Each structure stands twice: as structure tokens, then as C-alpha cells.
Amino acid sequence: KNEVEQSPQNLTAQEGEFITINCSYSVGISALHWLQQHPGGGIVSLFMLSSGKKKHGRLIATINIQEKHSSLHITASHPRDSAVYICAVTHSIIQGAQKLVFGQGTRLTINP
Amino acid sequence: DGGITQSPKYLFRKEGQNVTLSCEQNLNHDAMYWYRQDPGQGLRLIYYSQIVNDFQKGDIAEGYSVSREKKESFPLTVTSAQKNPTAFYLCASSMWARMTGELFFGEGSRLTVL
């Protein structure tokens, strides 16, 4: 069993739908990251959170430390949201460098 | 604008050749990382560096080497000892801190061994 599990692995939806991607982890963490990987391969950090909820535009990320679970929500989804969304947790910090454990990613496709 | 630049974006290599992937950042970050991504798998850590002239092996360091002579630069060499080098390679950086910091990634380098 992977230390970071995402679901679903693939998600196809129509433009405008509300999207939820889930992430569960089994290790102790100091932070959780949501990343977006574009079709070309580059990765952008969307959120870093250690408690509660963060919102940026149409994106919302929540985390429940007790349940070791996080969700990424996209409201009013748009075809440009199509990407792979990756959940990663900071498992430890060694002399200032973060050791991250990554989920396998969720491939999201939004159809017009 | 600050960011991370990786080059080349695409690279083809014959078996038995060493290749070096470049990673440069102008974010003034102390920590830099190299990850490997294979289809259907999560990113795996190859090497990381907390500070100039110091670096540590990650989970899959065999067949790779790095250097950190300047704060801005963290090149990765894929040696002929790496048995399965065809993959997508990502460089990242973050602030040195006791607490976690946001990670910044490059656009990646796709290496294909012919």
C-alpha cells in the first residue's frame, strides 16, 4: 500500500461541474502539497497546507489531520483545468530540505 | 521573474553515454532537489542539496551524480551505470527552513535512451 493514495486515478467531467479529488496518507506529516502537472510536464504548486482550508480562485483545498485526509475541490470547472493533480506530503525535514512522499496523481479531463 | 530553468527539455542518449541535465534557479533558495517520474508512478527523489557544496542521496541515487558548486545551480548527471535511464526528470527548490516551504518546480527534462 502506498503511503499517499489518491482517488480517483482518472476523472472526466463536463465543463461547469464541481470536482473533488481525494488524498489519504498513512505517514506523519508536517505539511501537505497539492500540485498541478501540465500536459507538457511542468509542475506548479497550488497549495501547501498543514491545517484547515485554503482557497485560491476556483480552487479549494482542505485537510483533516486527525483523519489523515485532504481534498482538492474545483468549482465551475473549465477545460483549462485539465491536468494531472498530485498530492504530496512533507514526511520529514532534514537540515532544511524537505523529504516528500508523492501520490500517483489524478488525471482530470474537463470536456467543453 | 524568479523561477527554475531546466535544460534541455528533450534529450536522446545512446547506451553507455553519460548525460548532464541542467537546473538553474534565481529564487535564492538554499534547498534543491532532483526527482524522477515514470509513467503511472509518483515522483521519486534522486538527490537533494540543502546548501552549497553539500548534497545527499535520495531514494534512487544509484547511477546518478550531482554537484552543487553554486547556490543557483544543481546539475544532474545520468551515468552509464543507470540501468533504466529513460524517464522524465524534474528539478525543484524550496527555502531552507525549519518549517516546510512551498516547492517550485522546473518544466522538466525528458531523457530517452536509444
The whole-number pLDDT of residue B96 equals: 64
Chain B contact residues (CB < 8 Å to A): 30-31, 33, 37, 40-45, 48-51, 56, 88, 90, 92, 94, 96-108, 110
Q: Is the pLDDT of residue B98 over 60?
A: no
The whole-number pLDDT of residue B78 equals: 96
Q: How far A45 CA lies from chain B's nearest CA (Å)?
A: 7
Q: Which candidate, B103, B89, B13, places its Cα nearest to that of A41?
A: B89
Higher pLDDT, B101 or B67: B67
Residue of A nearest to B101 (CA): A48
Question: Is B48–A101 a contact, with Cβ atoms under 8 angstroms apart?
Answer: no
Average pLDDT over residues A21-29: 92
Spatial strand order of the sheet with A59-64 comes to: A4-7, A19-25, A69-74, A59-64, A52-56
Q: Is the pLDDT of residue A84 over 60?
A: yes
Residue of A nearest to B57 (CA): A99
Strand runs labelled E in chain A: 4-7, 10-14, 19-25, 31-37, 43-49, 52-56, 59-64, 69-74, 83-94, 97-102, 106-111
Q: Is the pLDDT of residue A28 over 90?
A: no
The whole-number pLDDT of residue A98 equals: 75
Task: Express each pLDDT in B53-86 by its tens digit.
Answer: 999 999 999 999 999 999 999 999 999 888 899 9
